[in-house]
Amino acid sequence: MPWGLRRIHDAHCLHFITFSCYRRQPELGTRRARDVFQSDLERVRGWYGMCLYGYVVMPEHVHLLVNEPERTPLSVAMPMLKQVVSRKLRRPGQRRFWQVRYYDMPVWSERKRVEKLRYIHRNPVKRGLVTRPEDWKWSSFVHYATGGEGGVEIESEVTAARRERMGQPLRVARRQELPHPPPKPGGRMGQPS
């Protein structure tokens, strides 16, 4: 890992993750490509026991708001997600689909969680892809607006209540809040890696 870049693992916080297609090319620019990504996101979420609090799939990048997975660190789950998707979508002769690595910003407070969710959900509107967030199918917005189920399970009070009604094991619907982030010895948190 380059000097000054740090990962924060087992910190009991959410992670705002961003990763981009190689050279910011619109590899996710088609409905089919975004559908494949969304389907594989749900598959990887289930494999690793990851709670997903929000997401958006844009034509050339992705934003996720996730917890540290139950079964493995994000540093394993994120490359696996990228690998599974690229194997399905990479064109013959195409060497790279994704930029190397991903950006990971720890989210320590409820205020910051709401800020990141708003950013995620407004992204397609800001880019001019749709006029309203609910019109972008490849996002968690509809879950928050209606409680509806999409292609990816979103961790929320609605999901926890649904699990309880179905007799499924409950996950922690709210993450444990930390009073403050851990000290920053040397490096800066939230840097690309």
CATH code at position 138: 3.30.70.1290
Please determine, for residue 113, whether its predicted confidence score (pLDDT) is greater than 50: yes
Please determine, for residue 148, whether its predicted confidence score (pLDDT) is greater than 70: yes
**1 assigned to some structural domain:** no
**CA 142/CA 117 separation, integer angstroms:** 12
The share of the chain scoring above pLDDT 70, in percent, equals: 77
Please determine, for residue 11, whether its predicted confidence score (pLDDT) is greater than 60: no
Please determine, for residue 192, whether its predicted confidence score (pLDDT) is greater than 50: no
**105 assigned to some structural domain:** yes
**92 assigned to some structural domain:** yes
Please determine, for residue 180, whether its predicted confidence score (pLDDT) is greater than 50: no
Please determine, for residue 177, whether its predicted confidence score (pLDDT) is greater than 90: no
User: What's this model's pTM, rounded to 2 decimal places?
Assistant: 0.81
Total domains, the chain: 1
Chain segment 39-56, per-residue pLDDT in tens:
999 999 999 999 999 999
Task: Select the more confidently predicted residue: 184 or 171.
Answer: 171
**5 assigned to some structural domain:** no
**34 assigned to some structural domain:** yes
Chain segment 150-175, per-residue pLDDT in tens:
789 888 777 666 666 777 765 543 33
**178 assigned to some structural domain:** no
Note down the domain range covering 38: 14-166
pLDDT of residue 166: 74
**161 assigned to some structural domain:** yes
Give yes or no for a contact between 72 and 163, defined as CB atoms under 8 angstroms apart.
no
Query: CB under 8 Å to 129, separation ≥6 — which residues?
Result: 58, 59, 136
Q: Helices 31-48 & 74-89, crossing angle to 10 degrees? A: 150
**CA 9/CA 31 separation, integer angstroms:** 34
**188 assigned to some structural domain:** no
Query: Phi, psi at residue 166, to the nearest 5°?
Result: -85, 0
Kindly state the tokens that stand for 58.
């844009």
Taking the C-alpha atoms of 161, 164, 165 and 167 in order, what is their torsion angle to the nearest 10 degrees?
Answer: 160
